[in-house]
Structure 1
Amino acid sequence: MANFDTIFHENSSEDDTDNTQTSLEYALNLPEPIVIRGVGNMTVFGLNCKYDTDFPSALHAKVANEEFSMTINQVNKVLRKTMTVNVRWWLCGCICCCCTLGMSLWPVVCLNKRTRHTINKVLDSENVNFYHKLGLHWSLRKQKCVSSNMMEYVLLVEFLPKAQILKPD
């Protein structure tokens, strides 16, 4: 009872380490990200021409099936528009590859980079407008293929850590 009116000053560095420990512990409890692989019949430099539209069971009660399929359809629409041009340039580049010492494949690399940039812009707008509010984050990531040693681009749906509203600042 004697210490009732006493104000204790804690060291701020100890407080910072406690905050990082609790945020680390909380981040470790997040579920595994959901990987959506390409299912198309054509892949150019790791980017597939179509992504799977099947609703993953891990997203039940997180997002509606309509929103999920709308996002996948937007990505597939970008791929449908750009992959035909990429394949044509790739074929022309392969035909002329010996004469140009491989420089004829450079337009395909630039077009593929532009396609990835466009998909990232679509996913960023979806994240800002909808998915971040639900605690989800979509991204296009390069991952190793399951069956071979090659790399492919996959859609990754990550779960964001929830803000601790009951913990004081």
Structure 2
Amino acid sequence: MLMDEVDVISQEQHPLETTTTTIINDNYDDLIVRLPDPITIRGSGHVTVFALNNKFDDEYPQQLTARVARDEYSETIKRVNTILRKNVPINFKWLLCGCICCCCTIGLSMCPVFCLNKRSKHAVNKILEWENQRLYHILGLHWKLDKQKCQNNAVQEYVLMIEFRPKSTLIRPD
């Protein structure tokens, strides 16, 4: 195989904070895809256990105006919030019990809290994966649960990220 026939993919940061992906191929013209920055949806609930909040903000982002219907967006947020509303308060109760018993159990009473929190994150990721397969990948979007630093301090929290994906072109062969 000659090196001239191999595709080269490079990413550059555009000054307007959009990601630019350039795909160079000898057989086709240069193709430049500009993707907007991901949308971040922060937690807005009043209970947070190990960086996982019990509710996400359900306000419709303006960046999704021409891409997703408001009803679809609100249904996805509603599904995620239902899981979190059910699981996070239980995690909080186990956290309080674990803290009370921590001295007697040498920290082992915190294990159920870690397992329940991991299960909650897994349930949210499973819902987001189902939603991505059902609708959002077709629309060129990808939802994921991501851990980020808060803006004002070094504390981390889980946020919902909506990433833009390039739509596949139907005119070019595989």
Give the TM bin, normalised by the shorter chain. 0.7 to 0.9
Q: How does 1:8-87 map to 2 (within 5 A)?
A: 12-18=2-8, 20=9, 24-25=21-22, 29-87=34-92
Q: CA deviation at 1:13?
A: 2.4
Residues in 1 aligned to 2:89 and 2:118: alpha-carbon distance in whole angstroms: 15
Unaligned runs of at least 5 residues, structure 2 = 12-19, 23-30
Letter in 2 for 1:159: F
2:123 equivalent to 1:126: no
Letter in 2 for 1:36: I
Unaligned runs of at least 5 residues, structure 1 = 1-10
Q: CA deviation at 1:61?
A: 0.5
Question: CA deviation digits over 1:12-51, x for unaligned, max 9?
Answer: 4222235x35993267621000000000011000000000
Q: Higher helix proportion, which one?
A: 1
Structure 1's 35 and 73: CA in aligned 2 closer, same or farther, altered over 3 A?
A: same
- RCO greater where, 1 or 2, for CA within 8 Å and sep 6 or more? 1
Give the percent of matched residue pairs that are identical in Structure 1 and Structure 2: 49
Residues in 1 aligned to 2:89 and 2:32: alpha-carbon distance in whole angstroms: 41
Question: CA deviation digits over 1:107-127, x for unaligned, max 9?
Answer: 001000000000000000000
Which TM-score applies when normalising by structure 1? Answer: 0.86
Q: Moved runs in structure 1, 4+ residues, more than 4 A? A: none
Question: Aligned pair count?
Answer: 158
Which TM-score applies when normalising by structure 2? Answer: 0.84
Q: CA deviation at 1:60?
A: 0.5
The answer to whether the Cα contact below 8 Å between 2:33 and 2:166 also exists between their aligned partners in 1 is no
Report which of the two structures shows the higher radius of gyration computed on alpha carbons.
1
Q: Higher strand proportion, which one?
A: 2
